Amino acid sequence: MKELIQDAPPTGTTMKPDNDPAACRASDKDTATLPRYARLPINRCNVPAVILGSVTFQRFPSPLQLDGVAELHADLFRRLDALDDKAARATAFRDYLTVHFCLEELDKAGLDQRSKKRANANWLRVLRGWSFDSDGREGAVLKGWVESRFGLLARFHGEPLRDFSGAAYQRYQEMRSAGLYGTNALEGQLDLVYAYSQYEFQRTDAPSRIALYRGINRLAEHETLTGSKKRQIVLLNNMVSFTTSRERAGEFGDYIVTALVPTPKVFFSCDLLPGVLKGEDEFLVIGGVYDIAIDTH
């Protein structure tokens, strides 16, 4: 862990100064940045995908803001500013989501009898669905939301996603579309979940990075860009589950991945809204290229 905190480069690599022209280019051969095949040319936040998906962002994070969310929901954040108790803020946030998106008054949302069958397809269902099966329909919705908002393409959904014209990618897109069909601005609800997560981090003076852990059974589960068995630069899926508990991570694999995750890339954490996720200490993290340490337990 000491090695990770020092941000040392992987074995066999050298660090270049920030003003080195080669260090500032975003090529597919640059293992520190997000490859072109894993990103979209545009996104809906204040930092382009090539930067927020890079190792540089992991080491030197900055706040991420989704376009228009703070302005559209300014009243919510004014209410939160007036509350000193975290539990009260959580209640106020859930109430706001319910009222703003008419989650309990579907007629006002314009849903007919047919579309009411999707009444439970909301932000809560997505989070719990991810916790149950990250490669299910709700998982596809969440990965698609990351693509739309941050420009990071999904790399895995039940199987590797490499060919945009292939059957695997088509199945992923079909599941994403099915998950969004008949919902009331579901991706807008997810926008607010992320914004609230970041609000709480700032409100509680959280550190800029958090040490998180992930258990894996095979080193090949990650797309390794460079490194050794103990330390690698890898391309993670665009949404990944981590935990704050090393012991808990060890229950899910023979190898334990340790990463310093920027708090701006935490979409949701287990203590943000108690009772939402069944898994204790679970964090949902926006992916990209990460410098990680790997060891057995």
The pLDDT tens digits of the residues spanning 55-86 come to: 999 999 999 999 999 999 999 999 999 999 99
**Residues of the chain above pLDDT 70, percent:** 84
pLDDT of the residue at 184: 86
**Reported confidence tier of residue 100, pLDDT bands at 50, 70, 90:** very high
pLDDT of the residue at 270: 87
pLDDT of the residue at 98: 93
> Contact at 8 Å (CB) between 265 and 52?
yes
Residues 6+ apart with CB under 8 A from 159: 168
Which pTM value belongs to this model? 0.87
Give the mean pLDDT of the chain.
87
Considering 9-23, 31-45, 144-158, the range whose residues carry the highest mean pLDDT is: 144-158
Select the more confidently predicted residue: 254 or 115: 254
pLDDT of the residue at 218: 85
**Reported confidence tier of residue 32, pLDDT bands at 50, 70, 90:** confident
**Reported confidence tier of residue 181, pLDDT bands at 50, 70, 90:** confident
Count of CB atoms within 10 A of residue 240's CB? Answer: 24
Residue 18 scores a pLDDT above 90:
no
Where does residue 7 fall: left (phi above 0), alpha (psi -120 to 50 degrees), or beta otherwise?
Answer: left
The pLDDT tens digits of the residues spanning 101-112 come to: 988 876 666 665
The pLDDT tens digits of the residues spanning 142-177 come to: 999 999 999 999 999 999 999 999 999 999 999 999
Residue 215 scores a pLDDT above 60:
yes
H runs (alpha helix) in 103-163: 123-132, 137-150
Beta bridge mates, 295: 256
pLDDT of the residue at 47: 98
**259: enclosing H helix or E strand:** strand 255-262
CA distance 25 to 32: 10
